[in-house]
Amino acid sequence: MPPMVAPQTAKAIARDLPTKTAFITDSEAGKIIAAPTPCNARAAMRWIDESEIATRTLAPTKMMMPMMKRSLRPKRSARRPERISNEAKVSEYAALIHSASLVVRFKSLIIDGIATFTTVASRMIMATPRDKKARAIQRLLPVRTFCSESAGAFMVSLSWPGGPRVDRGNHASHADHTDAMSECGRADASGQWENHHVTTTAFAKGLSAGGLNIDPPVVLAPMAGITNRAFRRLCREAGAGLYVSEMVTSRALIERNDETLDMVTFAADENPRSVQLYGVDPVVMAQAVRIIVDEDRADHIDLNFGCPVPKVTRKGGGSALPWKQDLFRSIVRAAIAAANGKVPVSVKMRKGIDDEHLTYLHAGAAAAQEGVAWVALHGRTAAQMYGDTADWSAIARLKEQLAGYGTPVLGNGDIWTAADALRMMSETGADGVVVGRGCLGRPWLFGQLAAAFTGADIPADPHFDEVLRTLRRHAQLLCGDYGESRGCRDMRKHMAWYLKGFSVKQQIRQSLGTVSTLAELDELIGQMNGDQEFNQVVGAGPRGRTSGGRRPTLPEGWLDSPFIDEVGAQNLLEAELSVSGG
């Protein structure tokens, strides 16, 4: 046994001591930590009593408070600073600013003949108190000119007082960008102005087909229950273009349905007259076209292949029909043959059934090969209905596809303002636009479109009092066509579109939804506050139906083959509806 080691004082003591504590002295710890030597046993650990542990006392700590720095009050108030007798010198100068600029854009198939446009841009010269030499450089906005290849060449002339003249010629298929700079002379204390004039002369071919000249190339899309004689008159009075009737079925027309015949009856002063036909049978479609041509009922016929409503697509009609390539071509060929060159025939369609079944490129090429006047494309599929955003890139692709045929392409979808129409033309290269829901409750949109395409100032949207007068005239025209009772009932669906964006009491809105006489309508109009500005934010947004994202309703096995079979042909016989829409 190793010798016992005398107890030593602990180096550290726990605050709460247990009954028994393992205590290790310095010497014992050293022996334990050190490497053991042979034949030498380690010292045993022993337990010690609490009495052997020295008690540690904690001395009280004295807290030292820092000396606070106190600020003493002054014995007297501070003296105010001395006043400065000399006023500060201020340099004064005046600047007179005035500018006006306009970017002129030409598009192919818009202008027939020679047109001259002038862009005026003003230069700013600062007027200073002293007569000194001033220098100002004005960069004119670039003038872009677009013309069709068949238009020949164009000439851009730039001139301004005291400056050089720049003439640039180019082929019509290219755009010309011209920048010009000039230097002014001396500026006296009163300042001076100089105007720069940019004159562009372009030769372009108008959108014409079968004797029709559509200038500007703006088309009112056919809408069931909307584009009747009354609404078309409001649109014609506001602007220029082509205004298509409601969609009618070829079967109802050859059966001499009274309501259908009334839909293809136009006012004496309506010119040109345009009818849209819907059909799924080439023979029936040809007969309907002959009726229109022989009876001189229209100057233009449009074939509907874009209706997405289920009651039409479930039988293979509307936007579902172009999937059957042979049937689509047969209907277009039969209609053009029946027209016999006396009336131009066009087609209106959608991109396809859904994103997996697109048809517009093949159908557009087939229609162009058969000799249609133009192809109008709505940048949505049947599955999208009126939701999501129209795909304008599809319009651009179709334009490229039909470039070799020389067939114009018109774009449709999400044209809510005149600026939207110009942007579509610029982005897609389309030869015209087709406006549908954007004009609901806004027939004056066609006046804005006409101004935009001719380069004139776009009229502002009207105040609410003028909107109410248009609403009242719309109701009066409907009552004149259908009688007061039916006319007021038909007017009810237009109320929300006219009032969109304006502050109208809910009770008045509800009463307008049940109006039955013109006197009742006048009373309700008198209760509204007409002193309201047009809401540009709301007015530039979507109108009408915005639903979409539904699975198209199609005949059973319709997508199995892009060609029609006997079963499909039999089902199509039931697709001739007397009333349809889209």
**Terminal C-alpha separation, the chain:** 111
65-79, 104-118, 324-338, 410-424: least confident range? 104-118
456 and 476 assigned to the same domain: no
pLDDT at 172 over 80: no
299 and 378 assigned to the same domain: yes
Q: Please report which confidence band the pLDDT of residue 549 belongs to, taking 50, 70 and 90 as the band edges.
A: confident
Q: What's the rounded Cα separation, in Å, for the pair 395 and 545? A: 22
Mean pLDDT of 246-259: 93
Tokens encoding 178: 């011209």
Last residue of a domain, one of 187, 205, 223: 205
Per-residue pLDDT of 481-494, as tens digits, reads: 999 999 999 999 99
Mean pLDDT of 9-19: 49
Residues 6+ apart with CB under 8 A from 163: 180, 182, 196
pLDDT for 80 equals 62
Residue 425 falls inside a structural domain: yes
180-194, 245-259, 345-359, 523-537: least confident range? 180-194
pLDDT for 179 equals 33
229 and 198 assigned to the same domain: no
Per-residue pLDDT of 176-198, as tens digits, reads: 333 333 333 333 333 333 333 33
- We report the CATH number of the domain holding residue 519 as 1.10.1200.80
Clarify whether 235 is annotated catalytic: no
Percentage above 90 pLDDT, the chain:
54
Mean pLDDT of 24-45: 53
pLDDT at 89 over 70: no
Q: What's the rounded Cα separation, in Å, for the pair 109 and 114? A: 13
CB burial of residue 137 (10 Å; 0-12, 13-18, 19+): exposed
Residue 4 falls inside a structural domain: no
158 and 172 assigned to the same domain: yes
pLDDT at 328 over 60: yes
pLDDT at 98 over 50: no
Q: What's the rounded Cα separation, in Å, for the pair 218 and 237? A: 14
Catalytic residue among 307, 439, 479, 488: 307
Between residues 573 and 206, the one the model is more confident about: 573
Q: Please report which confidence band the pLDDT of residue 117 belongs to, taking 50, 70 and 90 as the band edges.
A: very low
Residue 384 falls inside a structural domain: yes
Average pLDDT over the chain reads 75
pLDDT at 114 over 60: no
pLDDT for 17 equals 47
478 and 442 assigned to the same domain: no
pLDDT at 564 over 50: yes
495 and 563 assigned to the same domain: no
Task: Using alpha carbons, select from 205, 227, 206 the residue that is nearest to residue 215.
Answer: 206
Residues 6+ apart with CB under 8 A from 93: 126, 127, 128, 129
Mean pLDDT of 395-420: 96
Mean pLDDT of 16-22: 47
pLDDT for 556 equals 87
69-83, 98-112, 435-449: least confident range? 98-112
454 and 338 assigned to the same domain: yes
How many other C-beta atoms lie within 10 A of the C-beta of residue 238? 20
Per-residue pLDDT of 455-481, as tens digits, reads: 899 999 999 999 999 999 999 999 999
The answer to whether 298 touches 274, Cβ cutoff 8 Å, is yes
The answer to whether 31 touches 5, Cβ cutoff 8 Å, is no
Tokens encoding 260: 């259908």
Measure CA 231 to chain center.
24
The domain total for the chain is 3
284 and 304 assigned to the same domain: yes
Mean pLDDT of 25-31: 49
468 and 448 assigned to the same domain: no
Q: What's the rounded Cα separation, in Å, for the pair 152 and 114? A: 12
Structure letter (DSSP) for residue 353? E
Residue 318 falls inside a structural domain: yes
Q: Where are the alpha helices (DSSP H) in 376-492?
A: 392-401, 418-428, 445-454, 464-482, 484-491
Q: Please report which confidence band the pLDDT of residue 565 belongs to, taking 50, 70 and 90 as the band edges.
A: confident
Mean pLDDT of 572-577: 62
Which residues on adjacent β-strands are paired with residue 200? 117, 156
Full DSSP string of 286-312: HHHHHHHHHTT--SEEEEEE----HHH
Between residues 177 and 89, the one the model is more confident about: 89
In one-letter notation, the amino acid at residue 124 is: M
pLDDT at 543 over 90: no
10-24, 73-87, 329-343, 377-391: least confident range? 10-24
How many other C-beta atoms lie within 10 A of the C-beta of residue 135? 10
Last residue of a domain, one of 150, 172, 205: 205
Tokens encoding 313: 């697509």
Q: Please report which confidence band the pLDDT of residue 57 belongs to, taking 50, 70 and 90 as the band edges.
A: very low
Q: What's the rounded Cα separation, in Å, for the pair 365 and 401? A: 7
Q: What's the rounded Cα separation, in Å, for the pair 28 and 5? A: 8
180 and 224 assigned to the same domain: no
- We report the CATH number of the domain holding residue 374 as 3.20.20.70
- Domain interval for residue 392: 213-461+546-575
Residue 448 falls inside a structural domain: yes
Full DSSP string of 199-242: EEEEEE--EEETTEEESS-EEEPP-TTTSSHHHHHHHHHH--SE
Q: What's the rounded Cα separation, in Å, for the pair 47 and 24? A: 9
Residue 32 falls inside a structural domain: no
Residue 250 falls inside a structural domain: yes
pLDDT at 356 over 50: yes
The answer to whether 247 touches 580, Cβ cutoff 8 Å, is yes
Residue 370 falls inside a structural domain: yes
439 and 344 assigned to the same domain: yes
Q: What's the rounded Cα separation, in Å, for the pair 249 and 275? A: 11
Write down the pTM of the prediction.
0.66
Q: Rounded to the nearest 5 degrees, what angle is found at the Cα of 369, between the Cα atoms of 367 and 371?
A: 75
423 and 490 assigned to the same domain: no
pLDDT at 200 over 50: no
The answer to whether 307 touches 580, Cβ cutoff 8 Å, is yes
